[in-house]
Structure 1
Amino acid sequence: MQLVNFEIISVGKPHWENGYVYALDACKILKEAGFLFHYLIIGDSHDMELQYQIHDLELTDQVTLMGQKSLEFIKNKIQYANLFLQPSIKEGISDFVLQAIALETMVLTTDCGKVDEMIFNGTTGFIVPIRNTKAIAECIIEIQSLSEEKKSDIKRDALKTLKKQNKESRP
């Protein structure tokens, strides 16, 4: 039984490539399922399309849009979130995904770009198909239901993978 909000964060400008419309549709599925969560999108709090979608889906209590913030502020928010969500349609692995891994925050991303070089589904994070709101929602519920031991294992393995790839990329 879920007793507290599951904190989800995304970082980036509200460009169509970032896939926030699909993340918000997934939030509607979560809300309808009775899942307690808060979703913070840091990047631009004045995007009218996202504001309209949040209002239209009745997610004003669950979703917050925040303007651009300092890297230190963002890192703090990522570190204390339960999940970093990258719902992108057309992006490789973002610096913020790498930052989330370094901060030992669970990552859920879509299968765009080269994310599969860092995220191995179920081992170092989670990957769902692009534009698949149902898969995003189901994966978030699955992640929340994992044992603390399993969550720690995934975050630890992600950090090991990040460190290994950083060593291999150095001259």
Structure 2
Amino acid sequence: MEKFNFEIISVGKPLWENGYVYALDACKILKEAGLPFHYFIIGDSHDIELQYQINDLELTDQVTLMGQKSLEYINDKIQYANLYLQTSVKNGINKFVLTAIGLETIVLTTDCGGVDEIILHGKTGFIVPIRNAKLIAKSIIEIQNLSEEIKSEIRHEALKTLKSQNKQSR
């Protein structure tokens, strides 16, 4: 798999609830800030509205829309990404946030639907308000600039919290 300097991934259909318009607006801010990154959205490579937004924001070199993929492919992509991004405006934690934590990938999510039960800002991941591209971009830059030691601590704490939550739900 081709590796970029900072690889971001989201998984989900291009529905308005998933807030991809805000993720793409954040990508424009990242590009303007000079952050070398690539953002993959796995779910539907033929969404015309997202394709137009990517073109309008001049992000064709930084953003890839991917169609449906196997769970094995998705897990592999998440595991090797630097960041799992969930920009939902309506839905809570999706299974891929939990997958990312289980695969020890840092998660940045919007404050939506109980995510604060597992994501503690700065400790087990990162939370931003919904519909806020500027804070999404700012958080991505902050995450990218964290030391490897701090990133490792966040991944470890997130995994520990996930395992604890799983034990409690049994």
Same fold, TM-score > 0.5, yes or no: yes
Name the counterpart of 1:27.
Answer: 27
Q: Does 1:69 align with 2:69?
A: yes
Q: Counterparts of 2:34 and 2:125 in 1: how far apart (Å)?
A: 24
Moved over 3 A (4+): none
Output the CA distance in 1 between the equivalents of 2:68 and 2:162.
Answer: 26
1:18 deviates by 0.1
Measure how far apart 1:76 and its partner are: 0.1
| Equivalent position of 1:16 in the other structure | 16
* Structure 2 equivalent of residue 55 of structure 1: 55
Secondary structure at 1:113 match in 2: coil
List per-residue Cα deviations over 1:61-90 (Å, max 9, x = no partner): 000000000000000000000000000000
Q: Which residue of 1 aligns with 2:151?
A: 151
SS at match of 1:46: coil
Displacement of 1:5 in angstroms is 1.9
- The whole-number CA distance in structure 1 between the counterparts of 2:114 and 2:142 is 23
Report the residue type matching 1:93 in the other structure: I
Number of aligned pairs?
167
The amino acid of 1:47's aligned partner reads D
2:90 and 2:75 map into 1 onto residues whose CA distance is 23
Secondary structure of residue in 1 paired with 2:24: helix
What is the TM-score normalised by the length of structure 2?
0.97
Query: Which residue identity is paired with 2:88?
Result: S
Q: Render the CA deviation track for 1:115-148: whole Å, top value 9, x for unaligned.
A: 0000000000000000000000000000000000
> What whole-Å deviation, never above 9, does each CA across 1:4-33 have from its counterpart, x for those lacking one?
621000000000000000000000000001
- How far residue 150 of structure 1 moved from its aligned partner, in angstroms, is 0.2
Q: TM-score, normalised by structure 1?
A: 0.97
Alignment partners' CA distance in 2, 1:136 and 1:7: 15
Q: Which runs of 5+ in 2 are unaligned?
A: none
Structure 1 alignment gaps of length 5 or more: none
Distance of 2:94 and 2:149 partners within structure 1 = 27
Alignment of 1:1-171 (within 5 A): 5-170=5-170
RMSD of equivalent CA atoms: 0.5
1:34 Cα deviation after fit: 0.6
1: CA distance, partners of 2:147 / 2:66: 31
1:75 alignment partner AA: N
In 1, distance between residues paired with 2:166 and 2:7?
28
